[in-house]
Amino acid sequence: MAEAEVHLHHIFGLRAAVRNNLHFLDEQTVIFPCGNNCARYNIHQRCYKFIAGTERSQGMQALAISPNWRYLAVSECGERGTITIYDLQHEQSRKKKVLTGGNINVQEFVCMAFSPDSKYLLGQGGGPEWTLVYWVWEKNKVIATVKSTNAGPVYQVSFNPQDNTQICVSGNGVFKLFRYVDGSLKQTNSAKLETQNILSHAWMSEERIIAGTEMGRLLVFESGDLRWEMSVASKITEQETERQTEDETPSAPALMPRVTVIKAYSKGFACSAGPGTVCLFEKTEEKDSYRQIREIRLPHNSVNMSSCVVGFWCSRHGGRFNPE
């Protein structure tokens, strides 16, 4: 008698702690982590395909999808941290490469990013070393490493969308630009931000980056130097107070609108602004300035999903989300 086989058919939930955890692969397919799997869910047919995690994994840490939408990187922690690259054009999401820190013992990679041409990959190792690793991933070759911070944590790494050799690293008290020169990563800026816990950032142009903080601040950097800043906190708090006055219902003190994700679109950027809130900003005619044009409130049962939604919308539109 043949042995019966068990196949995973349905799965519930989403692992919100996994960094960069929601992606549109195409117009009808989303990818997200659930349990020890990555789910490919067809929103029209309402069916799943699954990418299983590795057997000895102690959990997924982060996801990254390549700009050409072909490759998915999944980092997992364990005795030795690994990043597995999957080919999403293959029917079964074939495993392409498994990357490690090479000669450097890295137990986890907390965030990752593909280069604009999808040929290179960054992986930020966790503490206490906080080693940033730069691969030519198709050759499984480490071409540079650097200690990105002494303290951490680091929440995001990224490539300049116009330049594979320029890299941004942000985190708690950390905003650094590195350039790959002569086989090494060299820091090119000296911003002093010890009091700022930077949770996210986005490249607006080849020279400009906008970063978001735990306290609801938006910081605008030009060529690595802080030019100006603004707050989403005051406006959100005012609007929340107005709602409470209208409802005449007392509630707990408003939480600071942590900016956990920022995504650029054609006219400006979208960012999370605390639980259940997404704000849209447009560039004004005034030089280097942005203004808030819209606030989107999510249903109460989705208040912890605002950062996912920003990435969800902008990922679907290739970073060109249209708020109309």
Phi then psi dihedrals of residue 317, to 5 deg: -100, 20
Instruction: Name the pTM for this structure.
Output: 0.85
- H-helix or E-strand spanning residue 239: helix 233-247
Mean pLDDT of 298-305: 60
Q: Is the dihedral of CA 88, 156, 225, 264 positive or negative?
A: positive
Question: Where do the domains of the chain lie, and which CATH numbers do they carry?
Answer: 9-188 (2.130.10.10), 206-324 (2.40.128)
pLDDT at 9: 66
- Which tens digits make up the pLDDT trace of 188-242? 997 888 889 999 999 999 999 999 999 999 999 999 999 988 888 655 545 554 5
Angle at 186 between CA 184 and CA 190, to 5 degrees: 170
Cα–Cα distance measured from residue 249 to residue 272, given in angstroms and rounded to the nearest whole number: 25
Q: Which two tokens stand for residue 3?
A: 């042995």
